[in-house]
Amino acid sequence: MKGTLLSTLLLTTVAGTALAQQQPQFTHYGFNGMYLNPAYAGIKGQGEITAIGRYQYFNYKASFDDGGEPKTYMITGSLPVRVLGGGIGFHLYRDEIAQFEMTNAQISYSKHFELGEGKLGIGVQGIYNYLSKGVYRAIDPDDATVPRDGSDSKIDAGVGVWYESPTFYAGLSMNNLLRSEYNFTSESTSSSNMAKYIGENHSYFTAGYNIEASSSVVVTPSVLVKMVMPGKFGDDGKFTFKNNSYEANVRATFNDKFWGGLGYRYDESFTGMAGLALAKDNALRLGYAFDFVAFNQDARALSSHEIMLSYRLPKPGMATKPAIRTPRYSF
């Protein structure tokens, strides 16, 4: 919208002390480990590409001028690379919230280690952020924190660990380690100060467990915690229970072909999802997720919607056929 700093959402992205989640959220987080953690890259032992489109607070209308629901478009990819002893991955997303737009690109590498029945991945990532600000209406015309139609870009970094076994997975990651400061030309004509945006350091913890309910049904409960980490620009009040986000979901999958699930996002919404797999080996997956916003409905519409399209590449085979041994040459 063309400018209201009365909105809490825009206050948190314009002010120098951003105390809320700055990064997009996805209800399909259980299918989207590459977005959450660089150590996920290649950990499944096969390549995969995932695309998600999300309309949050669908059909929300601003109180004046243009603007509306936040929109996010994302694509991720992951591939095991045997010669590197791990995997590589990427993700790219565009996040639009009224006059604020962010384009984020990341490249990741994960080193894999055998651990028990599974693998432990240790990952690093390089991050490129491009931020664009539109036109805002300032309550105070001389407020130096109000940007005037500009953009800025920065390089940042992230790290993570991920454990994957046939029955259990868990990951912990942190991004925006450099806490880059983005500067924009100020709306104020009487001040030389720049409007600023701080790329806060976020941490993600996720875990899930696969339960074989029958020979054809697998039930997977999962959790996700998103945290804004303490640091400069407001240490005391930043890392609090309220500023973090907590989600839980349980999903049932039938013959690796159909799934459905229900979830809860603390103090915001109840969620549901459904999907099916197509093509050979159920490689192509199509999913839909719905959020019903049941709490804190001020300045929000009552629903959010997501569509997911994912493709799993075949698992890599042996590069060469194994040698055939015979008794004659066994001495």
Contact 313, 87 (CB under 8 A): no
Largest separation between any pair of C-alpha atoms in the chain: 92
Q: For every one of its 331 residues, what pLDDT tens digit does the chain have, with 9 covering 90 and above?
A: 333 333 333 333 333 333 456 789 999 999 999 999 999 999 999 999 999 999 988 777 666 555 678 899 999 999 999 999 999 999 999 999 878 899 999 999 999 999 999 999 999 999 999 999 877 777 777 777 777 778 899 999 999 999 999 999 999 999 999 988 898 877 665 555 677 888 888 999 999 999 999 999 999 999 999 998 876 544 556 667 677 899 999 999 999 999 999 999 999 999 999 999 999 999 999 999 999 998 877 767 788 999 999 999 998 764 445 555 555 544 4
Within a 13 Å sphere around the CA of 206, how many CA atoms are in the beta-carbon half? 29
Q: How many Å apart are CA 3 and CA 135, to the nearest integer?
A: 6
Q: How many residues does the chain have?
A: 331
Q: Which of 205, 242, 215 is nearest to 8 (CA)?
A: 242
- Sequence ranges of the domains in the chain: 26-187+195-312
Host H or E run for residue 12: helix 8-14
CATH T-level topology, domain 26-187+195-312: Porin (2.40.160)
CB 223 within 8 A of CB 207: yes
CA nearest neighbour of 77 among 114, 52, 113: 52
Q: Which two tokens stand for residue 204?
A: 């993600």
Model pTM?
0.85
For residue 132, give both structure tokens: 């664009």
Structure tokens at 292: 């019903």
Q: Is 328 helix (H, G, I), strand (E, B) or coil?
A: helix
